């Protein structure tokens, strides 16, 4: 791990720790821009260490774990509850090390830079045409780094009684999407599953895009999985693909939500949604792990508002009607 990060460029490894307690002490002493954390360690584990670091000397924590089997996913996603912003599988074969060497440094550079910049609350704009006064029946949510925790916060505020159909694209390491859906189902007590082509999203249900396929949803809530179209901005599933599918024709009654994440996926699609009559909102800078995707949307004039995930959930909860 040290060799991968030190050789990646733009990253300096300032310390190492053999267990959670040592990690907390090192974070206090070294004040790093980001922390890479295992979960299963002797003595003090990674959950407690992450929780203490976030409470005592906050720094973005990215988890690398061997808890990747279906019956272990819930344990891996517990890390998001205590403040982790990303999760990656611990490599077991050379090809997986190569993939980690490609993806982990980019995440650490981005969250580290965001941490150095600090948080600055973004001014919210006034809702305009297609704004929050309109009754909503379909919610489309896109997120990347830091997204699992933000999505969970938003949907918790939306409430179990919501009758909106919810489609989610979350950039996540391959193999973790099923665990993410299971974790959300456990945390929220609602119908959360991986999306299936041809299924109509039931009212009140949440569907998560599987790795390797774009998720498209028509105005009636029918899902289509597209594994053949090329990645958009390097992503398949892409947030842009989801948003654009709902922007075809009128998007009245639709809300597009773009949350924390690197890059600009979703920004153009959110703008198309807004132009089609949807209500559009981004996560604000102060609550983002990485402000890249929301920033890109706001720069394009694609969002009616910028709020925290909890504020977004409360706002949408008041605008969701009965059966769509």
Average model confidence (pLDDT) across the chain:
90
Tens of pLDDT along the chain (324 residues)?
888 898 888 899 999 999 999 999 999 999 999 999 999 888 888 999 999 999 999 999 999 988 776 666 677 788 888 889 988 888 888 888 888 998 999 999 999 998 888 744 444 443 333 445 678 999 999 999 999 999 999 999 998 889 999 999 999 988 889 889 999 999 999 999 999 999 999 999 999 999 999 999 998 899 999 999 999 999 999 999 999 999 997 899 999 999 999 999 999 999 999 999 999 999 999 999 999 999 999 999 999 899 999 999 999 999 986 444
Looking up residue 293, the CATH number of its domain turns out to be 3.40.50.180
Domain-located, residue 59: yes
Specify whether 186 is catalytic: no
Per the residue annotation, which of 33, 240, 265, 284 is the catalytic one?
265
Tokens of 28: 């206090």
> Which SS3 state, helix, strand or coil, does residue 173 take?
coil
* Same domain, residue pair 142 and 269: yes
Specify whether 171 is catalytic: yes
Domain-located, residue 239: yes
* Cβ contacts of 201 within 8 Å, gap of 6 or more: 138, 165, 166, 167, 207, 217, 221, 222, 223
Looking up residue 8, the CATH number of its domain turns out to be 3.40.50.2300
What residues are paired with 165 via a beta bridge? 138
The pLDDT value given to residue 32:
96
Domain-located, residue 126: no
* Same domain, residue pair 191 and 243: yes
Per the residue annotation, which of 38, 115, 162, 171 is the catalytic one?
171
CA dihedral 226, 70, 184, 201 (to 10 degrees): 40
* Same domain, residue pair 81 and 150: no
Domain-located, residue 169: yes
- The span from the CA of 73 to the CA of 179, in Å, is 5
Which long-range contacts (C-beta less than 8 Å, at least 24 apart) are formed by 47-50? 47/20, 47/78, 47/79, 47/82, 48/20, 49/19, 49/20, 49/21, 49/23, 49/24, 50/79, 50/82, 50/83, 50/84
CA dihedral 20, 21, 22, 24 (to 10 degrees): 90
Specify whether 265 is catalytic: yes
* Same domain, residue pair 199 and 88: no
Sheet harboring 35-37: ordered strands across?
35-37, 61-65, 86-89
Predicted structure pTM score: 0.89
The pLDDT value given to residue 120:
45
Domain count, the chain: 2
Domain-located, residue 180: yes
Domain-located, residue 44: yes
Strands 279-283 and 254-258: parallel
Q: End-to-end alpha-carbon separation of the chain, Å?
A: 49
The pLDDT value given to residue 118:
76
Of 86, 117, 148, which marks where a domain is finished? 117
- The span from the CA of 19 to the CA of 223, in Å, is 44
> Which SS3 state, helix, strand or coil, does residue 157 take?
helix
Per the residue annotation, which of 38, 137, 144, 162 is the catalytic one?
144
Q: Is the peptide bond before 237 cis (omega within 30 degrees of 0)?
A: yes
Domain-located, residue 241: yes
What is the domain extent for residue 182?
138-317
* Same domain, residue pair 165 and 36: no
Of 88, 117, 146, which marks where a domain is finished? 117
């Amino acid at each position: 791990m040290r060799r991968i990060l030190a050789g990646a460029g733009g990253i300096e490894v300032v310390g190492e720790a053999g267990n959670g307690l040592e990690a907390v002490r090192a974070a206090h002493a070294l004040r790093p821009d980001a922390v890479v954390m295992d979960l299963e360690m002797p003595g003090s584990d990674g959950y407690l260490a992450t929780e203490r670091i976030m409470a005592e000397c906050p720094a973005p924590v990215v988890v690398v774990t061997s808890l990747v089997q279906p019956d272990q996913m819930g344990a891996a996603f517990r890390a998001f509850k205590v403040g982790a912003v990303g999760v990656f599988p611990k490599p077991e074969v050379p090809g997986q090390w190569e993939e980690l060497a490609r993806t982990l440094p980019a995440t650490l550079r981005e969250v580290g830079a965001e941490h150095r910049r600090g948080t600055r609350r973004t001014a919210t704009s006034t809702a305009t045409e297609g704004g929050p006064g309109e009754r909503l029946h379909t919610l489309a949510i896109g997120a990347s780094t830091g997204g699992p925790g933000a999505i969970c916060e938003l949907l918790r505020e939306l409430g179990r009684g919501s009758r909106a159909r919810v489609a989610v694209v979350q950039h996540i390491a391959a193999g973790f999407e099923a665990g993410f859906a299971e974790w959300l189902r456990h945390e929220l007590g609602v119908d959360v599953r991986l999306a299936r082509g041809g299924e109509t999203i039931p009212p009140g249900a949440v569907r998560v895009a599987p790795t390797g396929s774009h998720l498209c949803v028509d105005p009636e809530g029918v899902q289509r999985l597209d594994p053949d179209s090329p990645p958009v901005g390097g992503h398949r599933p892409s947030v842009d693909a989801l948003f654009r599918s709902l922007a075809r024709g009128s998007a009245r009654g639709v809300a597009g939500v773009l949350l924390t994440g690197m890059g600009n996926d979703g920004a153009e699609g959110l703008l198309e949604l807004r132009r089609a009559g949807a209500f559009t909102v981004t996560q604000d800078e102060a609550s983002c792990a990485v402000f890249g995707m929301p920033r890109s949307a706001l720069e394009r004039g694609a969002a009616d508002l910028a709020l925290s995930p909890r504020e977004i959930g409360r706002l949408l909860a008041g605008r969701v009607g009965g059966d769509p």
